[in-house]
Amino acid sequence: MSEESNAGGGEDDKSPSTLAAAGTSRGFKLTEVQLATDNFTDGVVIGQGGFGKVYKGFMVVDGDSVEVAIKRLNPRSRQGAREFLTEIEMLSRFRHRFLVSLIGYCDEPAEMILVYDYMPCGTLADHLHKPGKNLRVPLPWSRRLWICICAARGLDYLHTGTSVQPDRAIHRDVKSSNILLDDNWDAKISDFGLSRLGPEDQAYSHVSTEIKGTFGYMDPEYSLTRRLTRKSDVYAFGVVMLEALCGRPAVDLSTDEEQWGLAGWAQNCITEGRVEQIIDPNLREEIKPDCLTEFAQIANQCLHRLPKKRPTMSEVVVRLEFALALQDGKDSAIIIRPTKMTISRKMQHYIFGSSSTSEKHIELPCGPVSVKQIIKATHNFSTKMAIGKGGFGIVYKAQLHGQVVAVTKLSSPSKDKLEEFNTKVHTLSSLKHENLVQLFGAYCGKELHLLIYECMEHNSIAEALFETRSSLKLDWKTRCEICLGIAKGLKYLYEESGLKIVHRDIKAQNILLGETDGNLKAKISHFGLAMLCDEGNEIMVRRVAGTSGHLAPEYAMRGILSHKADVYSFGVLLLEIVCGKSNAISRPNQETVYLLNM
């Protein structure tokens, strides 16, 4: 029989003060808590469960009066004591915008009290399943989608950690009643009493534990084997997504027997193409068809019977962001013309691949183009048509219906590479900025995978700066305008796109030059190495990628990645633009010399 693994050592070694020492939680006196709750009067109770009661009150924190939620655990519950310690440990280790914040605790004799930031909009479950309570109106679809994105980001942080907080965690009780909502409708994951620190190597590694969680949300594989993985949280999150879509609880015994369990019933409807039947009636006129299709596919994949077939939470975040872009009517620029605002069935075919030969056309701004036409235009991807190489593969120049485009052909299409390709297509499709090279279309077949971009008139600034034979000469004013354009593009990627994208390979060769009204315009290109990095966080990567001489030291030596890595690379690029020389200067029979060291 499996033994339950402890999250941070033996229970005897734990105390609230030692567990909270690494974080910013503080200890409160019982008298302070009693004052805030009017001595635990029922008049300020805002929630109640098996753990005890939750009270609303005000407490003085760092000299300010702060509105708080106070959870008083039932002291007679032995399990409650364990969960009390685990909650303090987890929320002292993990701090994130989309996790509930633990302000402090009280552990005076016979008391187990936790103090949190107060969430004025209640729980997701309240709004989905108790819409009439306190005159609540049903949540609109765009708000439900945003709440799912927030919760997914919080779970992704738990699962992946950061360089500052390298631990990983498995929540083990993801459900709509544990997703709290602040006054901006940002979602916060809460209730970490069942959480476990998870294995750091990969998503499929597991810890053995006794089975705990909530019926209707539990991963079937976990229930059968007691093998708890991060994919168990992914399964539960898939159920939460269905709750948001259907407006129904995870378990509803008031319905027909076949509909008691939301996950099984909804999965059958999605698989059989009857997704319209499961939509919350309040949403039928709100959800755009393409957003609905994407959202339902994500939820269905989260609920896959085999944990290894489920996406990671990082992948879920990207695809939910994509679904939001579809709902908001943002230009997807994948398989459709930029003027259209929806994604067709054809687009899904090209993203996810198919053996069908009936739809092998990509809708570009110049008109529909067949894959055969692309192959012909690149002379069957001849080296004579190659104009560069990026993170995905070789880039070819092609003329289609009179328009010159750049075609990237994915090299070495391994399973991991294909997953990265699909994720990048979803990510790049929502990007549109005057200082980014625009993605026109994408194709993903059985053996051929293509990205089609706009083609720039003057290639890269590397050619203009470093090659004496270049006819393009850059005066000081033009160089300053180029630098400003690159900075605007980077600002958009991380601050304005909503996706927090780190490019990872900013260099002169990846800055292309186009012309607008006779003026040169810099455009960032080659997103094959790009990654998502949540605001204010660093991530630890297993494989450092980029260009030697342009990598930030903390990234190159320790694998610590944040948007500041792009800032460092941009600094190197600025130096190259000012000096007109490459950072790496090779000399015959001598070591490479770097501008930064001169």
173 in catalytic set: yes
- Asked whether residue 6 is domain-assigned, the answer is no
What's the whole-number mean pLDDT along residues 551-562? 88
Q: What's the Cα-to-Cα distance from 331 to each of 19, 326, 426, 434, rounded to whole Å?
A: 48, 8, 12, 14
Predicted confidence (pLDDT) per residue in 317-360, tens digit: 889 988 888 887 643 323 322 222 223 333 333 333 333 433 45
Q: Are residues 317 and 199 in the same domain?
A: yes
Q: Are residues 165 and 231 in the same domain?
A: yes
- Asked whether residue 292 is domain-assigned, the answer is yes
| pLDDT at 358 (0 to 100) | 34
- Asked whether residue 333 is domain-assigned, the answer is no
Q: Indicate if the pLDDT at residue 23 is higher than 60.
A: no
Q: In DSSP terms, which residues pair with 61 in a beta bridge?
A: 64
Q: Are residues 442 and 508 in the same domain?
A: no
Handedness of CA 547, 552, 557, 558 (dihedral sign): negative
CATH number of the domain that 58 lies in?
3.30.200.20
- Asked whether residue 436 is domain-assigned, the answer is yes
Q: Indicate if the pLDDT at residue 90 is higher than 50.
A: yes
Distance CA 36, CA 58 (A): 5
Domain of residue 202 covers 124-328
DSSP annotation string for 508-550: GGGEEEEEETTEEEEEE---TT-EE--TT--EE-SS--S-TTS
- Asked whether residue 334 is domain-assigned, the answer is no
Distance CA 247, CA 83 (A): 30
Q: Are residues 498 and 446 in the same domain?
A: no
| pLDDT at 364 (0 to 100) | 67
- Asked whether residue 582 is domain-assigned, the answer is yes
Report the chain's mean pLDDT, rounded to a whole number. Answer: 80
Of residues 323, 299, 301, 190, the one with CA closest to residue 250: 299
Overall number of domains in the chain: 4
Angle CA 292–295–299, to nearest 5: 135
Of residues 378, 430, 384, the one with CA closest to residue 404: 378
| pLDDT at 75 (0 to 100) | 66
Q: What's the Cα-to-Cα distance from 408 to each of 165, 318, 347, 398, 442, rounded to whole Å?
A: 37, 22, 18, 10, 9
Q: Are residues 463 and 513 in the same domain?
A: yes
CATH number of the domain that 484 lies in?
1.10.510.10
Predicted confidence (pLDDT) per residue in 51-69, tens digit: 778 999 999 888 888 999 9
| pLDDT at 469 (0 to 100) | 76
Segment (H or E) for 150: helix 141-160
Tell which of 53, 88, 117 closes a domain. 117
Q: Are residues 16 and 44 in the same domain?
A: yes
| pLDDT at 96 (0 to 100) | 85
Min mean pLDDT across 166-180, 299-313, 406-420 is at: 406-420
Q: Are residues 471 and 580 in the same domain?
A: yes
Q: Is 71 annotated as a binding residue?
A: yes
Handedness of CA 334, 339, 342, 347 (dihedral sign): negative
Predicted confidence (pLDDT) per residue in 475-514, tens digit: 999 999 999 999 999 999 988 877 788 999 999 999 999 8
Q: Are residues 53 and 166 in the same domain?
A: no
Q: Are residues 402 and 483 in the same domain?
A: no
Q: Indicate if the pLDDT at residue 302 is higher than 90.
A: yes
More confident residue, 210 or 68: 68
Q: Indicate if the pLDDT at residue 187 is higher than 60.
A: yes
- Asked whether residue 5 is domain-assigned, the answer is no
Alpha carbon 529 to its chain's center: 16
More confident residue, 164 or 333: 164
Tell which of 328, 357, 376 closes a domain. 328
Q: Are residues 347 and 463 in the same domain?
A: no
Tokens for 167?
């631990």
| Amino acid in the structure at residue 518 | G
Tell which of 94, 117, 140 closes a domain. 117
Q: Indicate if the pLDDT at residue 576 is higher than 60.
A: yes
Tally of CB atoms within 10 A around 369: 23
Q: Are residues 579 and 475 in the same domain?
A: yes
Predicted confidence (pLDDT) per residue in 95-107, tens digit: 888 999 899 999 8
- Asked whether residue 178 is domain-assigned, the answer is yes
Q: Are residues 247 and 286 in the same domain?
A: yes
For residue 163, what pLDDT band results from cuts at 50, 70 and 90?
very low
The residue from 126, 173, 219, 505 that is catalytic is 173
